[in-house]
Amino acid sequence: MTDLLPSTTTATDLAEPTKGRAQGGLAFVLRTIGGGLISMALIVVLGFFMFRVLPGDPVRAMTRDRPGNPEQLARLRAEFGLDQPLPQQFLDYLGDLARGDLGTSYKYSQPVTDLILGRLWPTVLLTGTALVISVALGLWLGSRAAWRHGSAFDRFTTATALVLWSVPTFWLGLIVLMVFAVALDLFPTAGMTSPGGVDGFFPAVLDVAHHLVLPCLTMVAVVYAQYLMVMRSSLLEEMTADYLTTARAKGLREDLVRRRHAVPNALLPTITIIFLQVGFVVSGAVTVETVFSWPGLGLLTYQALAVPDIPLLQGTLIALSSAVVIMNVAADLVYRLVDPRVRTR
């Protein structure tokens, strides 16, 4: 008789799956953030020792124009802490870093933190603009190319993207500079603003935008291809799904089937690429900023390498690497949030 009685489900039984998912989600978040912190710790350690093996003597490079006697050179090395054993330098560096002190630049005699903050906005402006344009262009062209798979439009856009993707960034930047700035004289060759500045808010904004065109164009040409290819391949997989056949059977136009059904599902893999690429675009700004003398973190890093300015190099490495690590962590968290299939694993 007891087997025939209906089973009762308590509130505790219903809460168990929800509680388990919540605990699993918290564990995933903690693991992801912990992995990011471990990555940053490794970057700090590797960066310290990597810059110590660079060729060149910072003290002699700084006194090249006014050679000093050995006593003066020794005094400068002591001032910079370069006369200490390497383990002691490392411990001092970790102590300063724990207090938020990135040290003082050899070349500029200014706190590294101030130098990085002063160059941060130009890099954010350049990379942010390039990223927004690259994402919009890549997703739009990728969805169109996949929907017209095999057409002349698909072949042309895919081939163009692959060619630009494979071109070295510095080489493409030099070509763009020579054609549009030197030969055609349409854009300035260097800097972020005109010499002497421009009076007025809107003229100043237009002046910065005029200087932004060529470096932004170079970054977009190299970056957008990744979004195009990922979006194209994702949408091609979705095009054979049964739910699209059902949508067509309901009488929806092809344009609505693509925009309302196929593209939203195909965007899921692209979300991870968008977040990952944010970090790599910021890190890859070194080449573009150097070619166009754009006064951001990339150019600052290049100038620090010439000395070598060890505290400044360590600071820019942490700043640029932080962008990559943070975006990696964000990509994992956001993908788990937007894709229910990941949350069930």
pLDDT tops 50 at residue 326: yes
pLDDT given for residue 212 in this prediction: 94
CB-CB neighbours of 282 under 10 Å: 26
Give the whole-angstrom CA distance, residue 185 versus residue 328: 40
The model carries a pTM of 0.80
Give the whole-angstrom CA distance, residue 133 versus residue 118: 25
Q: Mean pLDDT in the chain?
A: 81
Q: How far separated are the first and last CA of the chain, in Å rounded?
A: 39
- Residue 85 near residue 78, CB atoms below 8 Å: no
pLDDT given for residue 157 in this prediction: 92
Digit-coded pLDDT (tens) for 71-114: 777 777 777 777 788 888 888 889 888 888 888 888 888 999 99
- Residue 282 near residue 25, CB atoms below 8 Å: no
Give the whole-angstrom CA distance, residue 162 versus residue 222: 9
- If one compares 335 and 102, the residue with the highest pLDDT of the two is 102
Digit-coded pLDDT (tens) for 55-70: 766 777 666 656 656 7
Write down the CATH superfamily of domain 11-53+84-343: MetI-like (1.10.3720.10)
Residues 123, 128, 131: CA angle, nearest 5 degrees? 125
Residue 339 in tokens: 């894709």
Domain positions in the chain: 11-53+84-343
Digit-coded pLDDT (tens) for 259-309: 666 777 777 777 777 777 776 677 678 889 999 999 999 899 888 888 888
- Residue 272 near residue 337, CB atoms below 8 Å: no
- Residue 326 near residue 43, CB atoms below 8 Å: no
Sequence-distant (6+) residues with CB within 8 A of 251 are none
**Cis bond before residue 17 (omega within 30° of 0):** no
User: Which of 198-202, 222-226, 271-275, 291-295 has the weakest average pLDDT?
Assistant: 271-275
